Structures are given as structure tokens and as C-alpha cells.
Amino acid sequence: MSELTGRKIGFIGAGNMASALIGGLVKSYLVEPKMVMASDVDPERRGRASREFGVRVTPDNGEVARFADVLVLVVKPKVLPAVLEQIAPFVRKDQVVLSVCAGIRTAFIESKLPAKPPVVRAMPNTPALVGAGISVVSCGAYACDVHCRIAHAILEAVGEVLELDEDHLDAVTAISGSGPAYFFYLMEQMEAAGLAEGLPPTVVATLVKQTALGAAKLALESKDDPRVLRRNVTSPGGTTEAAITFLESKGVGQDFVAAIRQAAKRSRELGQ
């Protein structure tokens, strides 16, 4: 029996990540649509959730808070304080609050909810949209094992789940939360180079996407770490070595590490 059996799940926010989670739960039959309610200020997003998944929708965050046994907060960090103020009168001590708000610590959410419910913080990423996400969860002061298992069950509907101390979540946000954008950025540049070399657009797009997929699959299935895998492709005096040598001469690796650390810094700033 699933940890979600018989539990009503409410989503505050019905954007892309909420849609991924709702879709994963409904399509995997972990919950029935009637057991899910989503709120959003945007009628188009509410309509999409209703049409695609058959769940209840409302513009009223308080209605979702009253409905849910598990309350999932999927809103931008800048609007979270206002959302917490709206739902505070309705949140119960026995509700699980799962926050998917980048940078916001569990202690902040707990401080805004007088009932002091168990709060679990999560950082998923956008490959959840295709069931290939990776999420990391951290449990707050009032959360115990059962509350963490509930969070795991929701997030496992769209990918893998790890658990870490909350102090690591800003780094996780920078690596896996923002990480897909880094790979997409690299793919953009690879496509631009292919076009500059005269490849047809459809061909270069297929080459880049399949290469990215194959590299990820090889990394997942190999016992070797990325450094070894990269060296295996880099023959002395060959084409790959020419590219890697050029990148290293420009300090691209160091700059890339610095960029990711900027993302982690920004995540910490959001929490303040």
C-alpha cells in the first residue's frame, strides 16, 4: 500500500512543476484525480490541470489548504510569504507541507504557520516533466520518517529521490535544480557550431540531442566517473583533444564551477 493511499493532495500553484507532479501521481494511479486539488491565479493553468488530469481546481489557496492532507507549495519564492499568510489560518498540525520553493528554508515556513505542521523541503528539476527527474528532500523540525516517506512517494512519481540535510539544499539547487539549463546551454552552443560548419539544422539538432542522451546513458551505466569517460574519448593528437585543450586554455572549466557557485549563492540569498 502506498503512503499516499487515502490522502488528499493539494497543490498551491499549477505551473509546469506542479503539472509534472500531478501528472505523475495520476498517470501512475498513485492517487485518484478526485483526491487532488490545485489552485492558481492563472485561469489558463487551472484549466489545463482540470482538462489534462481531471483534478479539482480553484483560484482560492485557502480552499486547497482546507481540502488537503498533504499540501504541496509550488510557487515562486517571492510570492511564498503572501501565500503562507493566506493559508496560515487553515493549515492543521496533522497536515504535511511539502515545499518546492527554491532557497526557502523549512524554518521560515514553520515560523509562518502557527499550527507548526511537519514541513519537508524538496528540490526537483524539470526533467520531472518526462518522468526523468531527480529530487532531493530535507525534513524540517516537526517532520518524522512517515512525513518524509510521503514526500518521497510524491516525488518518486516523476523520478529518483535522495535525502540530505537541509544545509546541502542550496548546493543541490545549483547542481541539479538549475543543472538542466547548463546542459541545454551547452547543446545550444553545439548546435551553433554545427550550423557554422554547414550542417543542416535538422541534422545538427538530432546529432546534439542524441549525443546528449547517449552521454548521459553511458555515464549512468558505466562504473567510470566523468573524468575517465572524457579521457576515453580524448585520443592524443585527435579532434577531441583539440577542443578540450582550447576550452582549458580559456579557463572554461574554472568559470563553469564559478558559475554554479553563483547559483548556490543566489539560492542562499533567496532564503534570506
**Mind listing the pLDDT tens digit of every residue in the chain (272 residues)?**
689 999 999 999 999 999 999 999 999 999 999 999 999 999 999 999 999 999 999 999 999 999 999 999 999 999 999 999 999 999 999 999 999 998 999 999 999 999 999 999 999 999 999 999 999 999 999 999 999 999 999 999 999 999 999 999 999 999 999 999 999 999 999 999 999 999 999 999 999 999 999 999 999 999 999 999 999 999 999 999 999 999 999 999 999 999 999 999 999 998 87
Q: How far apart are CA 155 and CA 124, in angstroms?
A: 8
Contact predicate 54/19, CB 8 Å: no
Q: Coil, strand, or helix at residue 12?
A: strand
Q: Which residues contact 236 (CB under 8 A, 6 or more apart)?
A: none
Residue type, 228: V
Cβ atoms of 145 and 130 within 8 Å: the answer is no
Q: Contact, 17 vs 44, CB < 8 A?
A: no
Dist. CA 259–CA 167, nearest whole Å: 20
d(CA 124, CA 239): 36
Q: How far apart are the first and last CA of the chain?
A: 39
* Greatest Cα pair distance in the chain: 68
Q: How far apart are CA 178 and CA 3, in angstroms?
A: 29
Rg of the chain (C-alpha set): 21
What's the pLDDT score for residue 1? Answer: 65
Q: Is 58 exposed, middle or buried (0-12, 13-18, 19+ CB in 10 A)?
A: middle
71 close to 91: Cβ distance less than 8 angstroms:
yes
